[in-house]
Amino acid sequence: MNTLWQSIAGLPNFLLYFTLAVALLVVYVAIYVRVMPHREFALIRDGNVAAAISLSGALIGFVLPLASAIAHSINPVDMMAWGAIALVVQLVVYAAVSWLVPHFREAIEAGRTAPAVLLAALAISVGIVNAACLTY
């Protein structure tokens, strides 16, 4: 029985980091869907695969460095700071793709998957590099 209590001694820290991570994820999604010129969730509900691809890539691209921040942070404040940096980096990726791909909004709304795949790939790629940079 003592081993069980030793095994779950870190539960409070797990719950703290998990709660903070979910909060950051909710904030990221809220900001992301606000800055997108189209309504991601409405498009996804209507079966728009391009919107689903771009949002999925953005989520993965954000969660990768967030996971690295959790694993490498020295405390919850440190994790939140680096999670916020990851959030900003991913928003910059969207801005860059919007600049590089003219009529990105119209392409997503029309369900064209090529720009969505590009956004997803860039978001995930930058997320991986961002996560690797957090291994300090």
Q: Please check whether residue 97 is in contact with residue 122, taking contact to mean a CB–CB distance below 8 angstroms.
A: yes
Please give the C-alpha separations between residue 115 and each of 22, 29, 36, 106, 112, in angstroms, as whole numbers: 28, 20, 14, 10, 7
Q: Please check whether residue 72 is in contact with residue 136, taking contact to mean a CB–CB distance below 8 angstroms.
A: yes
- Maximal C-alpha separation, the chain: 62
Tens digit of pLDDT at every position of the chain (136 positions): 577 777 788 899 999 999 999 999 999 999 988 887 778 899 999 999 999 999 999 999 999 999 999 999 999 999 999 999 999 988 888 888 778 877 888 888 999 999 899 889 999 999 999 999 887 6
Evaluated on CA atoms 116, 117, 118, 122, the torsion sign reads positive
